Amino acid sequence: MTFPLFRRPGTVVVVDDNEDFLEQLKLLLPVHWNVQLQINPHAVIEHVTANAKLCEEDASRQQQLIVESVRDGVSLIDAILKYWANTPERYAITNTVVTDYFMPAMNGLEMLRRLDGWQGARVLLTGQADEQVAVHAFNLGLIDQYISKSLEHLAKRVIDAIRDLSVHAHPRFEHIWRTLLTDVQAAAIQDPAVAKGLHEFVDGRWVEYMVMGRPFGILGLSSTGVPGWLQLESPETLAEAAEIALDAGVDGPSVEEVHAGGKLHAFGIGGPAQRKLVSTALRFGDKHPLLGALFEPWPALPDGGYAQWRARQPGRTIL
pLDDT reading at 274 higher than 70? no
Q: Give yes or no for a cis peptide into 314 (omega within 30° of 0).
A: no
**DSSP conformation letters of 72-140:** HT--HHHHHHHHHHH-GGGGGSEEEEEEES--SSS-HHHHHHT-TT--SEEEEEE-GGGHHHHHHHHHT
Where do the structural domains in the chain lie, given as residue ranges? 6-173, 175-295
Q: Read off the pTM.
A: 0.89
Q: Which residues of 259-271 are buried (b: 16+ CB within 10 A; e: fewer)?
A: bebebbbbbbbbe
pLDDT score recorded for residue 200:
94
Are 291 and 198 a contacting pair, CB within 8 Å? no
pLDDT reading at 34 higher than 80? yes
Question: What SS3 class is residue 230?
Answer: strand
pLDDT score recorded for residue 131:
77
| CATH number for the domain formed by residue range(s) 6-173 | 3.40.50.2300
pLDDT reading at 80 higher than 60? yes
pLDDT reading at 169 higher than 70? no
